[in-house]
Amino acid sequence: ELLNCERVWLNVTPATLRPDLADYGLLEPHALGVHEGRIHALVPMQDLKGPYPAHWRDMKDRLVTPGLIDCHTHLIFAGSRAEEFELRQKGVPYAEIARKGGGILSTVRATRAASEDLLYELAVPRIKSLIREGVTTVEIKSGYGLTLADELKMLRVARRLGEALPIRVKTTLLAAHAVPPEYRDDPDSWVETICQEIIPAAAEAGLADAVDVFCEHIGFSLAQTEQVYLAADQYNLAVKGHMEQLSNLGGSTLAANFGALSVDHLEFLDQDGIQALAHRGVVATLLPTAFYFLKETKLPPVAALRKAGVPMAVSSDINPGTAPIVSLRMAMNMACTLFGLTPVEAMAGVTRHAARALGEQERLGQLRVGMLADFLIWNCAHPSEISYLIGVDQLVSRVLNGEETLHG
């Protein structure tokens, strides 16, 4: 079947991340062939009989992994929260910063004022950092516009990033991120606007792949979250949730009852919530950079999630307020060092499980014949280096949809 391939990579050592194989799903050296953007052949070198098709490269037994998937980011935004960081380091309490107009709403003001082109230009260097690290699929949320026009503006920028750059973009409508100033006295009316205007418009324009809610005391209540999920269901949009980040409102159980793709943060997740996630196969997305940057102390219940067999994803949560850290590999390292994941779990968390968190587990996240040909060839001695070593460019080759993207 290699002869049907437009391009073949010889002598690659696959970390397949197949759930039916142990650990990384490592195999002996193989030839990997690509045909029409999909993995068409994965053949042990010892079984190989020539001749090879025109395009082939000898990778000298280097490691090949699935492309990395960053399944939870807010990487489109204008403005900066660096001054807040300075105030916080001087001991100014969060509440005072918020009273002075800081926090999410300061990013909202700057994002509303920014043109679509400016938002695009500001996002490019951030998404290019992820591309350099080996991210081949990234989820990007709205949530800093908080008007119909500005939320759709953000989602259009996200779609445009995926069209212009060598990366797959999945979009998530997070209009339920904060109550905008215009609705300060009537949050329920904002929820109604989301359900009756923004979700229908985003769905009809094909701009949103999923709908997310920040379910929290300082965000939206369980009842409001349910309303948003009901509206998303009406428009056949998948749902996700920022759940149990600072308290436990029972949001994870509600999300599981709606068949959510994932629930994210989860520091305050309890056993009832864990059972609900396990029962419905919902992905638990861990966001260690926000935990670290907020200097949180309550750890997510990783051992209980592991015991219950809940698939854990790991993501960067890139956002200007609680995770100004534009690195998925840093998030992998923190998931291990701060949350106690093993490097194997961290790798599954940014491949197979992250794909599931985006509803893409059939096409992405493993090295299997038939899957989309998104893969990375590494200059590293062992796959655990990818979670262990930070800041070194170890990519030899980054392939998206069967096309080499690093070296032209």
Residues that bind ligand DI6 (CB under 6 A): 103-104, 107, 177, 214, 242, 245, 290, 319-322
* CA atoms in the 13 A half-sphere facing the CB of 204: 6
Residue 33 or residue 321: which is nearer to ligand DI6 going by CB? Answer: 321
Residue 216 or residue 226: which is nearer to ligand DI6 going by CB? Answer: 216
Minimum gap (Å) between residue 322 Cβ and ligand DI6 = 4
Minimum gap (Å) between residue 212 Cβ and ligand DI6 = 8
Q: How far is CA 356 from CA 5, 45, 69, 276, 283, in A?
A: 28, 31, 10, 17, 7
Tell me how far apart the alpha carbons of residues 290 and 334 are, in angstroms, rounded to a whole number. Answer: 10
Give the interface segment with Fe ion, choosing from 145-153, 312-320, 324-332, 369-377 (CB under 5 A).
312-320
* CA atoms in the 13 A half-sphere facing the CB of 319: 28
Residue 74 or residue 170: which is nearer to ligand DI6 going by CB? Answer: 74
Residue 317 binding Fe ion, by CB under 5 A? yes
Given ligand DI6, Fe ion, none, residue 321, with its beta carbon under 5 to 8 Å by kind, binds: ligand DI6
Tell me how far apart the alpha carbons of residues 73 and 230 are, in angstroms, rounded to a whole number. Answer: 24
Best CA proximity match to 16, nearest among 345, 351, 335: 351
Give the interface segment with Fe ion, choosing from 24-32, 200-208, 229-237, 311-319 (CB under 5 A).
311-319
CB distance 111 to 144 below 8 Å: yes
Minimum gap (Å) between residue 323 Cβ and ligand DI6 = 7
The burial class, CB within 10 Å (0-12 / 13-18 / 19+), for 147 is middle
Minimum gap (Å) between residue 122 Cβ and ligand DI6 = 14
Give the interface segment with Fe ion, choosing from 18-26, 39-47, 178-186, 315-323 (CB under 5 A).
315-323
- CA dihedral defined by 237, 238, 244, 245, rounded to 10 degrees? -80
Give the interface segment with Fe ion, choosing from 314-322, 328-336, 359-367, 393-401 (CB under 5 A).
314-322
CA 192 to chain centre: 27
Phi, psi torsion values for 168, nearest 5 degrees = -85, 135
Minimum gap (Å) between residue 272 Cβ and ligand DI6 = 22
CB distance 155 to 172 below 8 Å: no
Residue 260 or residue 372: which is nearer to Fe ion going by CB? Answer: 260
Minimum gap (Å) between residue 242 Cβ and Fe ion = 5
Residue 59 or residue 254: which is nearer to ligand DI6 going by CB? Answer: 254
Given Fe ion, ligand DI6, none, residue 320, with its beta carbon under 5 to 8 Å by kind, binds: ligand DI6
**What is the residue whose two structure tokens read 């002075």?**
100
Residue 251 or residue 301: which is nearer to ligand DI6 going by CB? Answer: 251
Residue 114 or residue 266: which is nearer to Fe ion going by CB? Answer: 266
Residue 104 or residue 313: which is nearer to ligand DI6 going by CB? Answer: 104
Q: What value does the CA radius of gyration of the chain take, rounded to a whole number of Å? A: 21
Given Fe ion, ligand DI6, none, residue 214, with its beta carbon under 5 to 8 Å by kind, binds: ligand DI6
Minimum gap (Å) between residue 157 Cβ and ligand DI6 = 17
Residues written for the chain: 408
Given Fe ion, ligand DI6, none, residue 228, with its beta carbon under 5 to 8 Å by kind, binds: none
DSSP character string of 43-106: EEGGG--S---SEEEEEEEEEEEEPEEEEEE-----S--HHHHHHHHTT--HHHHHHTT-THHH
Given Fe ion, ligand DI6, none, residue 120, with its beta carbon under 5 to 8 Å by kind, binds: none
Best CA proximity match to 217, nearest among 251, 174, 173: 251
Best CA proximity match to 218, nearest among 235, 242, 234: 242
Residue 112 or residue 363: which is nearer to ligand DI6 going by CB? Answer: 112
Minimum gap (Å) between residue 107 Cβ and ligand DI6 = 5
- By beta carbon distance, the residue nearest Fe ion is 317
Tokens of 322: 């609680």
Residue 311 or residue 320: which is nearer to ligand DI6 going by CB? Answer: 320
Minimum gap (Å) between residue 175 Cβ and ligand DI6 = 12
DSSP character string of 274-337: HHHHHHHT-EEEE-HHHHHHTT------HHHHHHHT--EEE----BTTTB----HHHHHHHHHH
Minimum gap (Å) between residue 213 Cβ and Fe ion = 11
Instruction: List residues binding Fe ion (CB under 5 A).
Output: 317
